[in-house]
Chain A
Amino acid sequence: MLQTLSVERRVDPHLSIDKYDPEAELLLLHMGPQHPATHGVFRMDLYLDGEIVVKAVPYVGYLHRAVEKLCEKLTYSQITPIVDKNDYVAPMTNEQAVNMAFEKLLAIEVPRRARWIRMIFAELQRIASHLLWLGTFTMDLGGALGGGTTVFMHSFREREMIMDLFEEVSGCRFHYNTHTIGGNRHDLPAGWAGRVKEALAVIEARISEYEGMSLENRIFVKRTKGVGVIEPGLALELGLTGPMLRACGIDHDLRRDAPFHAYDEVAPRVIVAEGGDCLARARVRLGELKESVRFVRETIDSIPEGSINGGRPIKLPNSIKIPPGQTYVGIETPRGELGTYLIADGSANPYRLKIRPPSLHALSALPYVLPGGTVSDALAILGSVDPIMGEADR
């Protein structure tokens, strides 16, 4: 499958709408930027023939906060709390991505304990993020006043437990600012591991409930099966990563394939599903939810002792200067590969910091998959993409 090079692009996203059957009366439906199901501020213009989508034109940029420009003016240690706000559903992964790029250019060795803690944080963030996805996705399928909301409320109840754990570590519910260059800012509080296991036990016992409400629900399957199919070749070309890619049957996970943190010592299973449709994406995410819960439960006790911030002691964080150079670091977040392309010029601020957002790439698949489905399908697909606009637009 991966061997064939040419990918048949079934849908041409740049097709002029005038080329469509001139007899048809098309309805242009602007969805968004403020719409209950667009997950923030995302806009799609759908050309409808009846209820069938003929052409979809997505627009992003309604949350373009100019983070990259801002970073050019900030010192390296000031950047961490800013990038937190990009992927606001899993903020820690943002911090990790930029700090790892800084560390790479500075050639700082992160202590083993810090790497383990980062790994545990990343996995807990994955749980929180996938729980949020589950809630919002079923809400897209089931309406704000219906069964979908019930799932949403339940998954938020569990998410709060994870938020609590992080609040205990950093003092914030999100936007933690808990990573620094060379390690972590906060050590784990006493007894934290026990409370993590407590919360995970509760979540774990309820995952089967979620599966009953989603994957085993006939209506859920009917609404998602065969909807929004992305071919594996196209998925690769588009740069889809994370669950979107793995749902196309491509076995690729940076945690295993290009290990960072402590994933070279222990690695979670990679969840892959065939089909490339919404159901497959749901399968992958729920599978990862389960796997992450299991992974944290099994590894939390083996966090090594040691210092959490080392390599070399950083006394005056604002005076860190990174020697000229360029580097790219990509890590696996709940949404896929979050990358940082850093260009340093030897001063105290980055010359250019480009964040590679997995959500933006995932959204760029929409014009290829939406045509041919109905409006309901369009929203199901959008929900299954799990876009976070803060990250896509930056």
Chain B
Amino acid sequence: MSERANLDTGASWTHPLYATLEKLPGVSLGLASVDDLLAWGLTNSLWVFPMATSCCGIELMAAAASRIDLDRMGTIVRGTPRQCDVMVVAGTITVKMAPRVLKLWEQMPEPKWCIAMGSCAISGDFYRNLYSVIPGIDTVIPVDVYIPGCPPNPEALMHGLLRLQEKVHARRRGEKVDRDPNPDLIRVTQPAIPRVCERDLGRNDELSKLQADQAGRVTEEQMCPAVDVPFEPPPPATPVFAPDFEGLLRELGVAVAADGPPLVPVERHFEFARRLKELGYRQLVSIVATHWLAGTGRAGKEEGASEHLEVAYVLRTVGPGSRLATWAVRVAPDQPIPSLVPLYAGADWQEREQFDLVGARFAGHPDLRRLMMAENYPGHPLRRDFPIDAHCAPWR
């Protein structure tokens, strides 16, 4: 990321009309007030582009909702970057997502600002050293305001936006802004109905009674219909299916293992799954591939074990008395395993995920592409020999 020319977005861009005006003699006298007017307009209608990728995005939504209501300060959320002034990066930005963020940022017309909301957007949070997360959005685009927190309260977001207003004004006057929170602004952001935990502090007693009042006014008819099922222990489970998993194991001659699911030979694996499906295990729950380095195995250290993968399958019967069936297949790292897609449509994505992350191969899978990482990603991150802090160029 070499071209960070517009790091100082607030000051560097001026409207061409404005630039012409500035050159006219005599106009500069009036410009001070015009300038104030322009800055007032800019700051009082900050339209937000929600770069809401994860948890912080929910707090961004909550900030736009009724309790905090960003519309109070003229801030609305628009879906297209062309009409927005502030990009609020709320959430973790992954390697796969970062180029998209950059693109969207470039699509926003000047003057524009960026707010990094939450520790993920600021620094990557505890994901910062991992292979798929970039260490903060400021490695991609310039950030004007940082809002710490995991997640920051909606109030904090509003405070951040108000601080951005301050910053824009100060920049125009050539002043510096300090980094500390502004107590006056914090007061503005407080919602009318204080939160429960603040009520005891007696911040606003009148309003704190509001919710209690509301609850008191609820009438019987408004409540959900009275209980017609008494609360008692559910009836003893009468399974829809009573499949005999152990019986099948015995029949196929698979030994029950004490330290994990029974190991099924890879040649009989598909047959085994088919039999289970016929028995009533109709729901595919999960496929878990694990990588074991040479010398390790289920019991921790295993002398003489070669490097191998173990792929565990979890199936379930549905209905009362639901039962689980778990078994595993042990293969060499690039030995293919028969795919279960013909039996279970859900195996499609599961196998793709395990292929992507652990590198298990599945023979007969119709479309074995990576699921999580980008197509051209080298290596399989969940292998044990994959370093946890493998760098993710070009972001660091």
Contact B299 A324 (CB under 8 A): yes
Shortest Cβ gap from B328 to chain A (Å)? 8
Contact A156 B66 (CB under 8 A): yes
B112 in contact (CB, < 8 A): no
Assembly CA distance A364 to B150 (angstroms) = 30
- B-contacting 9-mer, from A33-41, A106-114, A213-221: A33-41
User: Which residues of B340-396 are within 8 A (CB) of A?
Assistant: 343-346, 348-350, 353, 357, 366-367, 370-374, 381-382, 386, 388
* CB contact under 8 A between A173 and B59, given known A33-B100, A205-B223, A250-B318: yes
Shortest Cβ gap from B356 to chain A (Å)? 8
Q: A142-168 vs B: 1/0 string, CB under 8 Å?
A: 001000000011101101110111011
Contact B319 A257 (CB under 8 A): yes
Partner of A393, one of B131, B229, B372: B372
- B-contacting 9-mer, from A21-29, A305-313, A336-344, A370-378: A336-344
Contact B234 A264 (CB under 8 A): yes
Main secondary structure of the interface of A (DSSP, over half): mixed
- B-contacting 9-mer, from A67-75, A117-125, A180-188: A67-75
Contact A164 B322 (CB under 8 A): no
Contacts of B286 on A, CB cut-off 8 Å?
Answer: 239, 328, 339, 341, 354, 356
Contacts of A103 on B, CB cut-off 8 Å?
Answer: none
User: Number of B interface residues, CB 8 Å?
Assistant: 98
Assembly CA distance A328 to B325 (angstroms) = 10
Q: Bin chain A's interface residue count.
A: 35 or more
Partner of B320, one of A41, A238, A257: A257
Partner of A164, one of B196, B259, B300: B196
A351 in contact (CB, < 8 A): yes
Q: Which residues of B contact A (CB under 8 A)?
A: 51-55, 57-59, 61-62, 65-67, 77, 79, 91-92, 94, 96-97, 100-101, 104, 126-127, 130-133, 150-151, 153, 195-197, 211-212, 214-215, 218-219, 222-224, 227, 229, 231-234, 237, 240, 259-261, 277-278, 282-286, 288, 290, 296, 298-300, 312, 314, 316, 318-322, 324, 326, 343-346, 348-350, 353, 357, 366-367, 370-374, 381-382, 386, 388
Q: Which residues of A contact B (CB under 8 A)?
A: 2, 5, 7, 9, 13-14, 33-36, 40-41, 60-66, 68-70, 72-73, 82, 85, 88-89, 132, 144, 152-154, 156-157, 159-161, 163-165, 167-168, 171, 173-175, 195, 197-199, 201-202, 204-205, 207-208, 233-234, 236-241, 245, 250-252, 254, 256-259, 263-267, 269, 290, 293-294, 298-299, 324-326, 328, 330, 337, 339, 341, 343, 345-347, 351-352, 354, 356, 360-361, 363-364, 368, 389-390, 393
